[in-house]
A and B are shown apart, each in its own frame.
Chain A
Amino acid sequence: MEKRLIKKDALTGIIGKIAVDTTVYAPVKVEDNVLFKVLEKGDEPLVTFANSKNAPKNFFFPRSEVMLRYTRTTKGMEFSGGEKEAGEAVLFGVRPCDARSFVLLDMLFDQEKYKDPYYIDKRQKTTIVSLACAHPPYATCFCTSVDGHPVSSAGADVLLVDLGDQYLAEFITAKGEKLLKYFGDAKADAAADQKKEAIAAQAEKEIKSHIPAKAIKPILDVNFEHPFWNTIYQKCLACGTCTFLCPTCHCFDITDEMKYGDGRRLRNWDSCMFPMFTKETSGHNPRTSQKERWRQRTMHKFKYYVDNFNAISCVGCGRCVMYCPVNIDIRKIVEDISKL
Chain B
Amino acid sequence: MARRKFATLKRFLDYIGLEGDRTIFTWISASEGERFANVIKGVTAKVRALGPATKLVKKL
Contact = CB atoms under 8 A, between A and B. Distances in A.
Interface string A173-204: 00000000000000000000000000000000
A69 B60 CA distance: 9
Interface string A225-262: 00000000000000000000000000000000111001
B58 interface: yes
Interface in B33-60: 58, 60
Interface in B5-38: none
A259 B60 CA distance: 7
Interface residues of A, number: 7
Contacts of A262: 60
A259 B58 CA distance: 9
Contacts of B60: 69, 257-259, 262-264
A322 to B, nearest CB: 31
Contacts, number: 8
Interface residues of B, number: 2
Contacts of A263: 60
A83 to B, nearest CB: 13
Interface in A56-71: 69
Interface centre among A69, A258, A259 (most CB of B within 10 A): A259
A84 B8 CA distance: 43
A264 B58 CA distance: 13
Contacts of A257: 60
Contacts of B58: 259
Nearest to B58: A259
Interface in A34-69: 69
A263 B60 CA distance: 7
A258 B59 CA distance: 10
Nearest to B60: A259
A254 to B, nearest CB: 16
A258 B58 CA distance: 11
A266 to B, nearest CB: 10
A5 B60 CA distance: 48
A33 to B, nearest CB: 22
Contacts of A258: 60
A264 B59 CA distance: 11
A263 B58 CA distance: 12
A267 B60 CA distance: 14
Nearest to A258: B60
B60 to A, nearest CB: 5
Contacts of A264: 60
Nearest to B59: A259
Nearest to A259: B60
Nearest to A260: B60
Nearest to B57: A259
Interface of B: 58, 60
8 contacts: A69-B60, A257-B60, A258-B60, A259-B58, A259-B60, A262-B60, A263-B60, A264-B60
Interface of A: 69, 257-259, 262-264
Given A69-B60, A258-B60, A259-B60, 5 more contacts: A257-B60, A259-B58, A262-B60, A263-B60, A264-B60
